[in-house]
């Protein structure tokens, strides 16, 4: 996967693909990747020039933030970890750490439970896209130890058991 190099662009430097409420900006140079953003229902009224302006404002905003940002992960405890955004019509994380339980829909599809909210794999994927361009570490723990931060040993795989 190409990691995007976000930059301000001219309209002739991107291919704009609309899919529902999303816009995908594919940069002319495929090595630079692109950017996908959920714009919401207002996308229907936006011209390509409007979308390029939206893209560039988004990029400038991220660049300003990156110049001063020092990351400290925030874990929400004692309150809901998720909130539903009416504007974007999807779930978003309120913090940077999600304690999740992996379940099943009774068939072959996973269900991710966060607090009392069950998310389909698609909904969980949409939640992850709110952090597009970031990375994440996934640490699996027993279902009854979601509240604990486990010790992590770095090294080669060593025998382990799953319950």
Q: How far apart are CA 42 and CA 156, in angstroms?
A: 49
For 97-151, write each residue's pLDDT tens digit.
Answer: 999 999 999 988 999 999 999 999 999 999 998 888 788 999 999 999 998 889 9
> Minimum mean pLDDT among 7-11, 32-36, 81-85: which range?
32-36
pLDDT of residue 101: 96
C-alpha distances out from residue 150 to 26, 135, 159, Å: 40, 19, 17
Strand locations in the chain, DSSP E? 14-19, 22-27, 34-38, 82-85, 90-93, 101-104, 110-114, 117-120
pLDDT of residue 122: 93
Mean pLDDT value across residues 41-57: 95
pLDDT of residue 2: 62
Q: What is the DSSP letter of 39?
A: -
> What are the extents of the domains in the chain?
11-68, 82-145
Does residue 49 sit in helix, strand or coil? Answer: helix
| pLDDT interval class at 13 (50, 70, 90) | very high
Give the mean pLDDT of the chain: 89
């Amino acid at each position: 996967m190409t990691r995007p190099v976000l930059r301000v662009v001219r309209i002739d430097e991107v291919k704009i693909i609309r899919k529902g409420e999303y816009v995908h900006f594919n940069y002319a140079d495929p090595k630079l990747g692109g950017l996908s953003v959920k714009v919401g229902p207002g996308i229907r009224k936006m011209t390509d020039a409007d979308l390029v302006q939206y893209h560039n404002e988004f990029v400038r905003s991220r660049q300003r933030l990156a110049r001063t940002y020092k990351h400290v992960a925030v874990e929400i405890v004692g309150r809901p970890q998720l909130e539903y955004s009416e504007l974007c019509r999807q779930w978003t994380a309120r913090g940077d750490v999600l304690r999740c339980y992996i379940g099943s829909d009774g068939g072959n599809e996973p269900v991710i439970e966060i607090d009392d909210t069950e998310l389909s794999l698609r909904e969980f994927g949409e939640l992850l896209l709110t952090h597009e361009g970031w990375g994440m570490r996934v640490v699996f723990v027993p279902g009854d130890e979601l509240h604990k931060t486990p010790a992590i040993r770095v090294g080669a795989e060593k025998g382990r058991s799953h319950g």
